Amino acid sequence: MAEQNFPTGNLMKGKRGLIMGVANKNSIAWAIARQLAAQGAEIAFTYQGEALLRRVGPLAESVGSDILVECDVTNDETMDSTFATLKEKWGKIDFLVHAIAFAGKDQLAGSFIDQTTREGFKSALDISAYSFVDAAKRASEIMNDDGAMVTLTYLGSERVIPNYNVMGVAKAALEACTRYIAADLGPRGIRVNAISAGPIKTLAAAGIGSGRHMFKFNKAASAMQDNTDPLGVAGAALYLLSDLGLSCTGETHHVDGGFHAIGMPQEGPLKEAICD
Ligand code: NAD
């Protein structure tokens, strides 16, 4: 992704917000950060642990951010300190991006009923769905009344995707949480939406079994016969987080080259993707 690909402007000028979920330059959250920064947003970042600071630190600096807080969403103390830091430095925020998910690698290959354990289920739902409820509650306490929130989901919530397993269940919960949070915060004018992105090569995607086949199949079977461009996901986030998204809330917006819209894919490209 070249810098000039992110349209510049003032759509986010005067808006400040938190982006949770940048691990490296391939993270979807990073594409969103670059797009929001290109439109004038001031951004604070969280990073998951010391090991990731080495990568996230320089990225945050490159978009002029000076708020970088360590946060593990399973640890209440780090959640407390993240939002206390924002309150202390900024007082109020205008947006939240939640781009966090996790399931153990053992849960993400093979049969759903055989692989899903109680602990694996609890941890996937805690990190990938509950964390949005928790972050949204904390963010709403310091959010201006015309603020907005976005989370990242995937089609595995609506349909069975091989190996996605418990993460599909977590994403279904996340999308339901999005609607409930939207209803709670709607009267204040705060909008809450989910972006359902097609497969993108990131650290998280690498944890899912048969990833290579997934990309080939998505390319062949989507309406656009192409993989999802992170730029499109970032553009959707800009729309939903800026005033352009007025009146849009509780929505799960697909940015996947139209993969979700297809009932029966074209035979030619699909044959190649399946037989290879
Ligand atoms: P990524 O690996 O770059 O980002 C995942 C992030 O989750 C990382 O920054 C990681 O540090 C964070 N995380 C995991 N456990 C955490 C914890 N306990 N505390 C705090 N942070 C934690 O991968 P990505 O693909 O950019 O994922 C971002 C979001 O997009 C996820 O919700 C993912 O499910 C979703 N998504 C990804 C794709 C895809 O194909 N890559 C498609 C649709 C949706």
Q: List, in sequence order, every residue forming a beta bridge with 125; answer none if it has no partner.
A: none
Q: How many domains does the chain have?
A: 1
Instruction: Given the residues 130, 154, 180, 239, select the one marked as catalytic.
Output: 154
In a domain, 268, yes or no: no
Read off the CATH number of the domain in which 77 is found: 3.40.50.720
| Contact between 146 and 237 (Cβ < 8 Å) | no
238 lines ligand 1 (CB under 6 A): no
In a domain, 59, yes or no: yes
Order of all β-strands in the sheet with 16-20: 67-70, 42-47, 16-20, 93-98, 143-153, 191-197, 252-255
Q: Whose CA is nearest to atom 11 of ligand 1?
A: 48
In a domain, 188, yes or no: yes
Distance 152 CA to ligand 1 centre (A): 8
148 lines ligand 1 (CB under 6 A): no
**Ligand 1 nearest-atom number relative to CA 28:** 26
All residues at 6 or more sequence positions from 78 whose CB lies less than 8 Å from its CB, including other chains:
69, 70, 71, 72
All residues at 6 or more sequence positions from 13 whose CB lies less than 8 Å from its CB, including other chains:
39, 40, 41
Q: Give dist(CA 170, CA 265) in Å, integer.
A: 27
Distance 99 CA to ligand 1 centre (A): 5
Q: Give dist(CA 169, CA 188) in Å, integer.
A: 30
| Contact between 83 and 139 (Cβ < 8 Å) | yes
pTM confidence score: 0.97
In a domain, 143, yes or no: yes
Distance 268 CA to ligand 1 centre (A): 33
Q: Which among 25, 27, 201 is the best mutation to test ligand 1's pocket, defined by most ligand atoms within 8 Å of the CB?
A: 27
In a domain, 10, yes or no: no
All residues at 6 or more sequence positions from 262 whose CB lies less than 8 Å from its CB, including other chains:
221, 222, 223
All residues at 6 or more sequence positions from 75 whose CB lies less than 8 Å from its CB, including other chains:
none
In a domain, 220, yes or no: no
Q: Give dist(CA 125, CA 160) in Å, integer.
A: 17
Distance 64 CA to ligand 1 centre (A): 23
Task: Write out the residue range of the structural domain in which residue 117 sits.
Answer: 16-208+228-262
Q: Reduced to 3 states, what is the DSSP secondary structure of residue 47? A: strand
Residue ranges in the chain assigned as alpha helix (H): 28-38, 50-62, 76-90, 112-115, 118-125, 131-141, 165-185, 203-206, 211-221, 230-241, 267-275
**Ligand 1 nearest-atom number relative to CA 155:** 43
Query: In the annotation, is 47 catalytic?
Result: no
In a domain, 91, yes or no: yes
222 lines ligand 1 (CB under 6 A): no
Distance 87 CA to ligand 1 centre (A): 25
Query: In the annotation, is 164 catalytic?
Result: yes
φ and ψ at residue 64, rounded to 5 degrees: 75, 20
In a domain, 217, yes or no: no
Distance of CA 261 to the CA centre of its chain: 21
Q: Tens place of pLDDT for every residue, the chain, 276 residues? A: 444 589 999 999 999 999 999 999 999 999 999 999 999 999 999 999 999 999 999 999 999 999 999 999 999 999 999 999 999 999 999 999 999 999 999 999 999 999 999 999 999 999 999 999 999 999 999 999 999 999 999 999 999 999 999 999 999 999 999 999 999 999 999 999 999 999 999 999 988 877 788 999 999 999 999 999 999 999 999 999 999 999 999 999 999 999 999 999 988 878 777 765
**What is the per-residue pLDDT for 126?**
98
- Residue identified by tokens 């917000």 is 17
**What is the per-residue pLDDT for 4?**
53
